[in-house]
Amino acid sequence: MKRMATTWILLLCAATLLAPTTVWADVEEDIEELNDRLDELELKTAKNKLSFFGDFRVRYDYQKWHVNPYQQLMGFDFNNVDPQSGMPAPVFMPVEAYEADNSESWSARLRLKMDYKAGKSVHFTGRLNMHRQFGGSHVPLFNGFPNTVLSSFNSTAVPTDDLVHVERAAVTWDPQNTPFFFTLGRQAATGGPPKEFRENKVRQGTPGALMIDAQIDGLMAGFHLGAIGLPEEGIVRLCYGTGFEAGFGSGGLTNQTFVNMYFPDANNPGQVVAMPMPVSELEDSKVMGFCAETPIPALGGDNLLSFGGFRMLAMTDIPYGMTRGFPNVLSTQPQAVTATTNLGDMDLFGACWQHTVEIGEAGYELTYFGSFATNKSHPDEGTFSLYGFGPMLGNSSEDLTGKAYYVGVQGDVPPTGGKLGFEFNRGDENWFAYLSGADDVNSKLSTRGSVFEAYYIQPIQKGFDFRVGMQSYQYDYAFSGWHISPGPIENFELNNEIFSPYPFPDTITNVYAVMDLTF
């Protein structure tokens, strides 16, 4: 009996000693299996070179326009030709004040953002964008603003068809252990500060939204201000971009050529008369400038001071673009428009201060911002657009200065977890900035006049929100957003009966509702 007990005890001991080994064998097997699975996963991630993320937005717009009485250009009287210039006399017809509204317009925007790290110092970022007008057509209907001439500066801001456009694609080289970095490609030049507050997004672009809001190709050299003892996030960027590539000159390889311009014949409605116009060799249009930005840590909260200056060189009258209803003949058909002349240079300076502070113990946030910008024209004497849109800012012999400001507040609404915001901007007679890629329906920041906007953002969960808002535009002058005008802009004050190739609203009300999902 005793021996049997001893045997049992010995067996038990052996079992306890053996047990861990068997368990260990199990664990080893598990680890091996995990290893295999991890290898597989690693292989897969290694092959997934690009990471994709992005957002999807559906937007509803209601718009109401009011147009003051004006004189509509009907065409040209070829029986009444000026013997000196050889130009037929323009014929105008008075138009009464009227209102027009578009009670429903829907659009969807899908943005796929891409990111690839090629190593410690090189990375690629890109953004593909489909911006579709529901039931939309291939080419946008011209509404008088430059952001409805579909060009490569705004191809993703203007809702059109279901094509995917490359909005951004740039390689950044950030040499290790130096304060310098370089970016080459289609740059992040749309939706810059302080536009992100209204959109309830993180920052979307580099230059201030009051100065440059357009898809621009070029190169950029950056410098981290941390290297000279300034705040770590501070950066100065030098930028160089192309606004128009003229090739050998638009006339091909010859210095001087003629193109047919089509003039509506006022005596024969529906008919056009082709007149050959001289087109001289075009120059490339370039933009050079700098953007600087830094937080001011001493002021607390989240803040950013950004400012910049740009010179647009040899600006052309119109970019290459597509449009319907452009004030020209046969305007129901999509037509291509293109640059006809270099008009001169334009300077642009601006600054923006934005600051988010917490209020009270509960940590509710209040954001305010103020932005100011000014432009100055340097026209080439005697140059004007062959489309009949005149010289730079309507005056080819004088340098003109324009100004604009843009202010806003946004605050948390504690009971709902939402945000309420108000914005106001005002531009004067000669105000112009490079905003053709702004995705407001009417490019509000380029307004020569004032715009008030109120909006409410209701987050449903992180990355998913609804927004409703209202913009009220009050235009003082016509040709807002354009750097060209058929005559001095003071002649286009909308309270006077202006002579115009197309109607300009003096007020616009735009009510919108947006659903936005970030992924």
Partner 1 sequence: MFGRTLSLLGLCLVVLIAFAAIGQRDVRGQEPVDVSTAIIAAAFAGDSEDADKPQIKGSDKKGKYWFKKSCKSCHGKDGDGGEVTPISKTIKQWERYFKKGKHTGDEKLEPTFDAEQIIHIKTFLINHAADSDQPETCG
Which residue type occupies 30?
A: D
Q: For residue 194, is the peptide bond before it cis, meaning its omega torsion is within 30 degrees of 0?
A: yes
CB of 251 to partner 1, least distance (A): 35
The footprint of partner 1 on residues 490-509 (CB under 8 A) is 509
- Closest to partner 1 by CB, 7 vs 416, is 416
SS3 515: strand
Identify the H or E element spanning 290: strand 285-294
- Identified binder of partner 1 from the candidate list 4, 46, 298, 362, rule CB under 8 A: 362
Q: Is 245 in the site for partner 1 (CB under 8 A)?
A: no
How far is it, in rounded angstroms, from Cα 292 to Cα 351? 9
The footprint of partner 1 on residues 367-396 (CB under 8 A) is none
The footprint of partner 1 on residues 412-441 (CB under 8 A) is 415-418
Nearest in space to 366 (alpha carbons), one of 423, 410, 421: 410
- Torsion region of 300: left, alpha or beta (phi above 0 gives left; psi -120 to 50 gives alpha): left
Q: Binding pattern to partner 1, positions 165-184, x when CB under 8 A? A: ---x-x-x-x------xxx-
Q: Is 121 in the site for partner 1 (CB under 8 A)?
A: no
Q: Is 452 in the site for partner 1 (CB under 8 A)?
A: no
Nearest in space to 218 (alpha carbons), one of 142, 313, 302, 282: 313
Q: Is 188 in the site for partner 1 (CB under 8 A)?
A: yes
Q: Is 466 in the site for partner 1 (CB under 8 A)?
A: yes
Report in angstroms the alpha-carbon separations of 161 from 42, 109, 130, 441: 39, 11, 8, 16
- Identified binder of partner 1 from the candidate list 217, 358, 398, 497, rule CB under 8 A: 358
Q: Is 511 in the site for partner 1 (CB under 8 A)?
A: yes
Q: Is 309 in the site for partner 1 (CB under 8 A)?
A: no
The footprint of partner 1 on residues 33-62 (CB under 8 A) is 53, 55, 62
CB of 518 to partner 1, least distance (A): 5
Which sign does the torsion angle of CA 11, 13, 17, 20 carry? positive
Report in angstroms the alpha-carbon separations of 27 from 20, 34, 338: 10, 10, 71
How far is it, in rounded angstroms, from Cα 258 to Cα 280? 8
CB of 289 to partner 1, least distance (A): 12
Report how far Cα 72 is from the mean position of its chain's Cα atoms: 31
Length, in residues, of the chain: 519
Q: Is 242 in the site for partner 1 (CB under 8 A)?
A: no
How far is it, in rounded angstroms, from Cα 327 to Cα 143? 10
- Closest to partner 1 by CB, 8 vs 240, is 240
Q: Is 127 in the site for partner 1 (CB under 8 A)?
A: yes
CB of 207 to partner 1, least distance (A): 9
- Closest to partner 1 by CB, 269 vs 360, is 360
Identify the H or E element spanning 20: helix 2-47
Q: Is 459 in the site for partner 1 (CB under 8 A)?
A: yes
How far is it, in rounded angstroms, from Cα 144 to Cα 325? 9
Nearest in space to 306 (alpha carbons), one of 317, 322, 318, 290: 290
**Segment near partner 1 (CB under 8 A); pick from 132-140, 391-399, 453-461, 484-492:** 453-461
Scanning 48-117, the segments in alpha helix (DSSP H) are none
**Residues in the site for partner 1, rule: CB under 8 A?**
53, 55, 62, 64, 101, 103, 113, 125, 127, 168, 170, 172, 174, 181-183, 187-189, 201-206, 220, 222, 237, 239, 301-302, 356-358, 362-363, 365, 415-418, 456, 458-463, 466, 468, 509, 511, 513, 518
